[in-house]
Amino acid sequence: MPQLPSIDPRVRIGHVHLKVSDLERSLKFYRDILGFNVTQRIGNSAAFISAGGYHHHIGLNTWESRGGSPPPPGTTGLFHLAILYPERPLLADALRRLVTAGIPLEGASDHGVSEALYLRDPDDNGVELYWDKPESLWPRAADGSIAMHTHPLDLQNLLSTLNK
């Protein structure tokens, strides 16, 4: 098969649609804790949520999953959805919301190119909340390629950006 050209760099992931077992429980997490807005609701079976008035960034539905359980370990499926914050203080605000709600983190990492918080939603879906550092700060190898790494993220330092 001939090598096809790369995809256009303007292509983006538009939204993710999650099967959930309890719509109200998921809305309490994504709307009430993380702060997304509901843009449309279909009774008790689906809701579409977004930031900034977009039609939807995340769809939540119980069409095939009402009362269901998460997939067992060792199966394929979604590893996590990643929510990109435009600046570090907004990621700090997300951390404050999680702490206030008593939502535990599974991890918090500085990847050199980004800082990320890792957690689980009420249906055990992996969620990454992150912000990208300016490209000028990205670590580079001697050949100029990106040299991502994983170091612990200082959560107190992240929260301190809220006081500035």
The verdict on 45 and 93 lying in the same domain is: no
Give the Å distances, CA to CA, from 85 to 20, 89, 116, 143, 153: 24, 9, 10, 29, 16
The verdict on 86 and 51 lying in the same domain is: no
The verdict on 56 and 136 lying in the same domain is: no
The verdict on 155 and 92 lying in the same domain is: yes
The verdict on 118 and 140 lying in the same domain is: yes
For residue 36, being part of any structural domain is answered with: yes
Q: Which residue do the tokens 């996590």 mark?
A: 80
Q: What is the strand order of the sheet 107-110 is part of? A: 81-85, 126-132, 114-120, 107-110, 151-152
Mean pLDDT, residues 75-100 = 95
CATH code: domain of residue 44: 3.10.180.10
Q: Which domain holds residue 144?
A: 79-164
Q: What is the rounded distance in angstroms from the CA atom of residue 17 to the CA atom of residue 123?
A: 13
- pLDDT grade, residue 13 (50/70/90)? confident
User: Can you give the pLDDT at residue 1?
Assistant: 81
User: Can you give the pLDDT at residue 163?
Assistant: 82
Total domains present in the chain: 2
User: Can you give the pLDDT at residue 157?
Assistant: 97
For residue 127, being part of any structural domain is answered with: yes
For residue 125, being part of any structural domain is answered with: yes
| Structure confidence by residue, pLDDT tens digits, 91-100 | 999 999 999 9
For residue 7, being part of any structural domain is answered with: no
| Structure confidence by residue, pLDDT tens digits, 112-141 | 999 999 999 999 999 999 999 999 999 999
Q: What is the rounded distance in angstroms from the CA atom of residue 128 to the CA atom of residue 83?
A: 6
User: Can you give the pLDDT at residue 65?
Assistant: 95
The verdict on 29 and 92 lying in the same domain is: no
The verdict on 92 and 164 lying in the same domain is: yes
